[in-house]
């Protein structure tokens, strides 16, 4: 359900429409904010906005939330219509295309004027929102992939601990494959499977960020191993055909040994898997400490009539006080160092397993991959992934699939 909230002087009104015209006319500065599928946070934003407007009298804030599949199309429509929201919560690398097309405000000058603001955030998460040497987004909440493993299945297979290399992932998967049980799953959207490539030294593009670099014998060897393990049942086929519900649900069943997914998967798996507890579920870094982030961040539309107010509100939302409140209420991390340390300290006693999962999110943040700042990221994914899927599912041999993927990615790059 979409929600709009207009707040002025601490007064909140919810409904389909904004405030009455006579009330809007009295407002000195109006800004609007679009968030990504967090309509359940109405109480949080009501309190936050009231706190902000208390120190910023005359500011009117309109809040609109859209579900994930709807938000990009909605924002693009608003851009074309000249009515883009001032602040937008965007996920993954989708922001790069809009930044490259001139739709987003460069916040670098603002950070240069207030260097203390940048120091609030984990520098690796913050730098993940830089394109063309410009800062276009500020972290809202963050997540990156890790490796979950079923300790019970590991014990039954005689495995003493999580895998330390790609080959061990493959070998462990085979060791746990028996009957209905399989050894490994990965989420595959938004490059979340890319740590499997990176731990083998595979690069998507050359340093020019335009030329494919992945069509190598090493990549073919990786795909051959994945295809062989998939055909034998070591790797669950849902790893290559599912998206979110299917692989997480399969792991929650207790019949899969390992899952490569981001931290949000923990709460899904725990909610569906009665077997999940600190004695049965492990959480660790993937081999090589490689991970792919899938973060949310706030951007400002370049067309904003009140960019200073939008910037002030972003600072307010992602500052220590409100980032901490958000992190504690949703049990997630935000990229704000103080807020994240606070929630981790609380989780350590309240939910040790959740603490173990979240702890991975602040470790080895210099080893994040699959987050290339490509304006044509979606098109590259659409060109590359189908051929990789063909290879791991045995529809094509790896060399043919890689050659076809290279041609498809090259065409995309030439059009950009």
pLDDT digits (tens, 9 = 90+) for 300-340: 999 999 999 999 999 999 999 999 999 999 999 999 999 99
Query: What pLDDT score was predicted for residue 368?
Result: 98
241 found inside a domain: yes
237 vs 265: CA distance, rounded Å? 18
Number of domains making up the chain: 2
315 found inside a domain: yes
Task: Please give the structure tokens belonging to residue 117.
Answer: 């603001």
Where residue 334 sits, what CATH number does that domain have? 3.40.190.10
Q: Give the start-end residues of each E strand in 122-188.
A: 130-131, 134-135, 138-141, 145-150, 182-186
Domain that holds residue 158: 145-292+376-415
Do residues 43 and 74 both lie within one domain? Answer: yes
Q: Are 233 and 213 in contact (CB under 8 A)?
A: no
Q: How many degrees, rounded to 5, is the angle at CA 103 between CA 101 and CA 106?
A: 100
Do residues 166 and 59 both lie within one domain? Answer: no
Do residues 151 and 244 both lie within one domain? Answer: yes
Query: What pLDDT score was predicted for residue 39?
Result: 95
Tell whether the model's pLDDT for residue 32 goes beyond 60.
yes
Q: Say what the alpha-carbon torsion angle 165, 183, 273, 250 is, to the nearest 10 degrees.
A: 120
365 found inside a domain: no
Do residues 175 and 88 both lie within one domain? Answer: no
Band (pLDDT 50/70/90 cuts) for residue 404 is very high
180 vs 238: CA distance, rounded Å? 13
Region of 395 (left: φ > 0; alpha: ψ -120 to 50; beta: rest) is alpha
74 vs 51: CA distance, rounded Å? 29
42 vs 45: CA distance, rounded Å? 5
**pLDDT exceeding 90 applies to what percent of the chain?**
92
Mean pLDDT, the chain, integer: 93
Do residues 34 and 133 both lie within one domain? Answer: yes
Query: What pLDDT score was predicted for residue 416?
Result: 78
Do residues 102 and 181 both lie within one domain? Answer: no
226 found inside a domain: yes
370 found inside a domain: no
Mean pLDDT of the 131-145 span: 98
Kind and range of the H or E run holding 291: none
360 found inside a domain: no
Tokens 């300290």 belong to which residue?
A: 345
Do residues 318 and 178 both lie within one domain? Answer: no
Q: Say what the alpha-carbon torsion angle 274, 278, 279, 283 is, to the nearest 10 degrees.
A: 100
Query: What pLDDT score was predicted for residue 9?
Result: 36
Do residues 134 and 155 both lie within one domain? Answer: no
Band (pLDDT 50/70/90 cuts) for residue 25 is very low
Do residues 309 and 281 both lie within one domain? Answer: no
Tokens 């590991």 belong to which residue?
A: 154
Do residues 50 and 111 both lie within one domain? Answer: yes
User: Which residues lie below 8 Å from residue 67, measured CB to CB, with a gap of 6+?
Assistant: 37
Tokens 């309190």 belong to which residue?
A: 47
Region of 201 (left: φ > 0; alpha: ψ -120 to 50; beta: rest) is left
Q: Are 173 and 229 in contact (CB under 8 A)?
A: yes
Band (pLDDT 50/70/90 cuts) for residue 13 is very low
Do residues 139 and 154 both lie within one domain? Answer: no
Mean pLDDT of the 340-354 span: 96
86 vs 59: CA distance, rounded Å? 13
Band (pLDDT 50/70/90 cuts) for residue 17 is very low
For the ranges 19-33, 159-173, 203-217, 227-241, the lowest mean pLDDT is seen at 19-33
SS3 122: coil
161 found inside a domain: yes
129 found inside a domain: yes
**pLDDT exceeding 70 applies to what percent of the chain?**
93
Do residues 17 and 136 both lie within one domain? Answer: yes
The total number of residues written for the chain in this structure: 416
DSSP state of 205: B
């Amino acid at each position: 359900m979409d929600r709009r909230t207009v707040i002025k002087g601490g007064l909140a009104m919810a409904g389909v429409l904004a405030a009455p015209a006579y009330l809007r006319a009295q407002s000195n500065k109006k800004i609007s904010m679009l968030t990504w599928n967090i309509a359940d946070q109405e109480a949080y934003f009501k309190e936050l906005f009231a706190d902000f407007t208390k120190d910023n009298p005359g500011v009117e804030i309109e809040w609109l939330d859209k579900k994930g599949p709807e938000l990009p199309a909605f924002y693009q429509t608003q851009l074309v219509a000249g009515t883009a929201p001032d602040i937008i919560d965007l996920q993954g690398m989708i922001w790069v295309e809009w930044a490259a097309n001139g739709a987003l405000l460069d916040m670098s000058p603002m950070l240069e004027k207030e260097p203390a603001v940048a120091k609030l955030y984990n520098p690796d998460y913050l730098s993940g929102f830089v394109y063309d040497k410009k800062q276009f987004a500020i972290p809202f909440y963050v997540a990156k992939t890790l490796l979950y493993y079923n300790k019970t299945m590991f014990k039954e297979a005689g495995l003493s601990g999580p895998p330390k290399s790609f080959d061990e992932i493959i070998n462990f998967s085979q060791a746990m494959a028996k009957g209905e049980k399989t050894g490994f799953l990965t989420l595959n959207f938004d490059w979340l499977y890319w740590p499997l490539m990176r731990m083998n030294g595979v690069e998507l593009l050359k340093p020019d960020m335009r030329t494919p670099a992945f069509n190598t014998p090493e990549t073919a060897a990786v795909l051959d191993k994945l295809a062989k393990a998939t055909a034998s049942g070591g790797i669950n086929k849902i790893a290559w055909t599912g998206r979110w519900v299917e692989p997480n649900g399969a792991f929650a069943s207790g019949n899969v040994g390992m899952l490569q997914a981001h931290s949000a998967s923990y709460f899904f798996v725990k909610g569906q898997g009665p077997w999940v507890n600190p004695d049965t579920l492990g959480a660790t870094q993937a081999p090589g400490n490689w991970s792919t982030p899938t973060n949310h961040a706030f951007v400002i539309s370049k067309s904003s009539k009140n960019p200073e107010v939008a910037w002030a509100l972003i600072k307010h939302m992602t500052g220590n006080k409100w980032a901490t409140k958000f992190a504690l209420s949703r049990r997630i991390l935000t990229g704000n160092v103080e807020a994240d340390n606070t929630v981790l300290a609380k989780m350590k006693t309240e939910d040790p397993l959740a603490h173990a999962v979240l702890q991975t999110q602040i470790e080895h943040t210099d080893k994040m991959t699959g987050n290339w700042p490509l304006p044509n990221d979606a098109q590259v994914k659409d060109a590359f992934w189908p051929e990789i899927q063909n290879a791991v599912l045995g529809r094509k041999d790896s060399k043919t699939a890689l050659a076809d993927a290279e041609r498809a990615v090259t065409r995309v790059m030439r059009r950009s």
